[in-house]
Amino acid sequence: MILDGKCPTGPIEKSWDKHRFDLKLVNPANKRKYNIIMVGTGLAGGAAAASLGELGYNVKAFCYQDSPRRAHSIAAQGGINAAKNYPSDGDSILRLMYDTIKGGDFRAREADVWRLSQVSNNIIDQCVAQGVPFARDYAGYLDNRSFGGAQVSRTFYSRGLTGQQLLLGAYSALSRQIKAGSVKMYTRREMLDLVVVDGVARGITVRNLVTGEIESHAADAVCLASGGYVNVFYLSTNAKGCSVTANWSAAKKGAFFANPCYTQIHPTCIPQAGEYQSKLTLMSESLRNDGRIWVPKKKEDCGKHPGEVAEADRDYYLERKYPSFGNLAPRDISSRSAKEACDDGRGVGPGGRGVYLDFEESIKRLSEDTIRERYGNLFEMYEKITDENGYKRPMRIYPAPHYAMGGLWVDYNLMSNIPGLFVLGEANFSVHGANRLGASALMQGLSDGYFVIPYTIGGYLVTVKPGSVKNDHPEFKKSVEDVKTRTNKFLNINGKKTVTEFHRELGKVMWNNVGMARSKESLTEALKVIPQIREDFWKNVKVGGSGTDLNQQLENAGRVADFLEFGELLTRDALHREESCGGHFRTEHQLPDGEAKRNDADFSYVGAWEFKGNDKEPELHKEPLKFETIHLAVRSYK
């Protein structure tokens, strides 16, 4: 099937304004007759629930944590982009759009990216009005910093806490609506199934994580804003509870999964210290402004104290390979280079999986105080985890899974191929193409939540009669039964391996075979091994406790079971995409200098997969990409 993104036609500059005008409006008096379900209350879902509630809709919002304030958006450090052009350094909506399309290696839809860039400015205003304390200068004006992939200074920030402050802004708007009664908040609930009646999304089935009760909720539209899926690699910078479960439950009901193989591996994370490790911690990319990355030239030197490795025996490999960008080469390139050095046996630290990020030279040039002023909190964070002093000894860093560019397929209205099912934020695939630039995920989440869905959902709702399906419909009963059956299945296997052991096992395969560098061979092997792990899981997993109680083993079992299916789809997508682009690097497809080699003739499309069960091949649907405003070009950072 050829998919239609339903993008507006005509001049790009007018596309969103025209589309908004063309959308039918819901009569204000009728809005409260409509029920909307919002799964997830991070930046995307929180902003959307608050805005929809304020418009007069009845919103039911769900999250798995004990409060909407804890969604993983909270962990974003760096900042949020906007095309305000406050510094007058040549920024514009068109330039932000250009940088985003190029950064994504020409694998995103132009109209969506234009809209994102256009509303980016409204986001900053909105957050300021909420009381988000952005950094200011002494005269009181908003301050900006620079981020990767851009030549202008367009990133707004609040210390190293931008995500926290933006989320607390959305949470405060949401809290106001909860108080007003327009949003009903269901915390500690996990969505486990999507209910589809006659091809239309009509509700969800959730587990109450405290009592174990399985509940049905019906609505006129369902929105998923459930975040990203890189915990499929087990170790990542995501929170422990992040999963693909909400998205995957929709995929199992027919929603197409787009570009699952586009995953971002962030170059600067604290390396794994041991087998017991439960997550990885990001160190802001900004450190690369003053830190130099190196490994020893000789394998024998890897065990030495870094101070004992002579200057001539150090390989500053990014400076060597990318003389003009040096240590500031883009994320995908820097990550791959670190892997190559370690694969070559020249990695440092436990297991040889680390490279040095060295501040000695900048400390000499600028003084330790200057470095402390710039990055003090990061050095402190590093020391808390590693017990090493980054001022005295180079930091050790290594790449880690960080962000999912892929997600459920949506059209320009953020509606999936299932009518009535909308997808927002990191959970959808829309704007980042094959690689996301820094400071643009926060922008997307808030754009979708505050400024897109409040308009586009109305265009759908006017076509449906409110409340036409209730949760006593047989499909809801069936869904509850299905969830209960699966819960009992987990509890009755009573095997020998824990859920975490299976998750680690899957993670290792995904990381080694489907990680930073992928080949036909590694992917084919993964496609053999993943189903074996899955089969073993369903025979041999041990989940204790009961289904009618707070049971964290059971929660994790469901998430890992879904990753074991989804991981296979991700791998299949990576195998089918015979090109390298952005975060997807196929070793067979590289330019002579080792850079990613895109294949526009054959792969300039969104690959959206229809899942058909574990025993059948998924079906690929394509949405061709057109580039009319920004012209296709080779991405070069040399």
Ligand X SMILES: Cc1cc2nc3c(=O)[nH]c(=O)nc-3n(C[C@H](O)[C@H](O)[C@H](O)COP(=O)(O)OP(=O)(O)OC[C@H]3O[C@@H](n4cnc5c(N)ncnc54)[C@H](O)[C@@H]3O)c2cc1C
Q: Which residues are catalytic?
A: 331
**Residue 135 interacting with another protein (CB under 8 A):** yes
Residues 213-272 interacting with another protein (rule: CB under 8 A): 239-241
- Please pick, from the candidates 62, 234, 359, 537, the single residue that binds ligand X as defined by CB under 6 A: 62
What are the strands, taking DSSP E only, across 19-170?
A: 35-39, 58-62, 80-81, 155-156
- Please pick, from the candidates 100, 120, 245, 416, the single residue that binds ligand X as defined by CB under 6 A: 245
Q: How many CB atoms lie within 10 A of CB 278?
A: 9
In the chain, how many H helices and how many E strands?
18, 19
What angle do the packed helices 93-103 and 110-130 form, to 10 degrees? 120
* 607, β-bridge pairs: 622
How many residues lie near ligand X (CB under 6 A)? 45
Amino acid at 173: A
User: Which of ligand X, another protein, none binds 465 (CB below 5-8 Å, type-dependent)?
Assistant: none
Closest CA to 589 of 609, 606, 575: 575
Angle at 384 between CA 438 and CA 165, to 5 degrees: 40
Task: Return the exposure string of 124-145: e unless at least 16 CB atoms fall within 10 Å of the residue's CB, then b.
Answer: bebbeebebebeeeeeeeebbe
**Residue 178 interacting with another protein (CB under 8 A):** yes
Kindly state the tokens that stand for 107: 């694998």
Residues 71-130 interacting with another protein (rule: CB under 8 A): 72, 74-75, 84, 86, 122, 124-130
Give the nearer residue to ligand X in terms of CB position, either 442 or 606: 442
User: Which of another protein, ligand X, none binds 67 (CB below 5-8 Å, type-dependent)?
Assistant: another protein
- Please pick, from the candidates 12, 49, 127, 191, the single residue that binds ligand X as defined by CB under 6 A: 191
How far, in Å, CA of 122 to CA of 134, rounded? 15
Closest CA to 398 of 367, 352, 359, 361: 352
Largest CA distance in the chain: 75
Give the nearer residue to ligand X in terms of CB position, either 395 or 441: 441
Pairing status of strand 35-39 against strand 221-224: parallel
Through-space distance between the first and last CA atoms of the chain, rounded to whole angstroms:
39
Give the range of 57-65, 118-126, 392-400, 611-619 binding ligand X by CB under 6 A.
57-65
| Helix, coil or strand: residue 540 | helix
Residues 158-177 interacting with ligand X (rule: CB under 6 A): 162-163
**Residue 94 interacting with ligand X (CB under 6 A):** no
Residues 100-159 interacting with ligand X (rule: CB under 6 A): none
Least spacing, CB of residue 400 vs another protein, in Å: 12
**Residue 72 interacting with ligand X (CB under 6 A):** yes
**Residue 403 interacting with ligand X (CB under 6 A):** yes
User: Which of another protein, ligand X, none binds 245 (CB below 5-8 Å, type-dependent)?
Assistant: ligand X
Residues 419-448 interacting with ligand X (rule: CB under 6 A): 425-427, 439-442, 445
**Residue 38 interacting with ligand X (CB under 6 A):** no
**Residue 406 interacting with ligand X (CB under 6 A):** no
Binding mask 451-480 for another protein (x = CB under 8 A): x--x--------------------------
How many residues lie near another protein (CB under 8 A)? 79
**Residue 141 interacting with another protein (CB under 8 A):** yes
Give the nearer residue to ligand X in terms of CB position, either 118 or 428: 428
Contact in structure between 309 and 301 (CB atoms under 8 Å): yes
Closest CA to 580 of 66, 60, 106: 106
Residues 409-448 interacting with another protein (rule: CB under 8 A): none
User: Which of another protein, ligand X, none binds 44 (CB below 5-8 Å, type-dependent)?
Assistant: ligand X
Residue with tokens 């030549």: 151
Give the nearer residue to ligand X in terms of CB position, either 291 or 352: 291
**Residue 307 interacting with another protein (CB under 8 A):** no
SS (H, E, C) 370-393: HHHHHHHHHHHHHHHHHCCCCCCC
Residue with tokens 């290792």: 508
Kindly state the tokens that stand for 392: 């005295």
DSSP single-letter state for residue 238: S
Residues 487-526 interacting with another protein (rule: CB under 8 A): 498, 500-501
Contact in structure between 336 and 344 (CB atoms under 8 Å): no
Least spacing, CB of residue 413 vs ligand X, in Å: 18
**Residue 183 interacting with ligand X (CB under 6 A):** no
**Residue 63 interacting with ligand X (CB under 6 A):** yes
* CA count, 13 A, side-chain hemisphere, 538: 12
> Where along the sequence are the contacts to ligand X (CB under 6 A)?
39-45, 62-65, 71-73, 75-80, 162-163, 189-191, 225-228, 237-238, 243, 245-246, 282, 402-403, 425-427, 439-442, 445
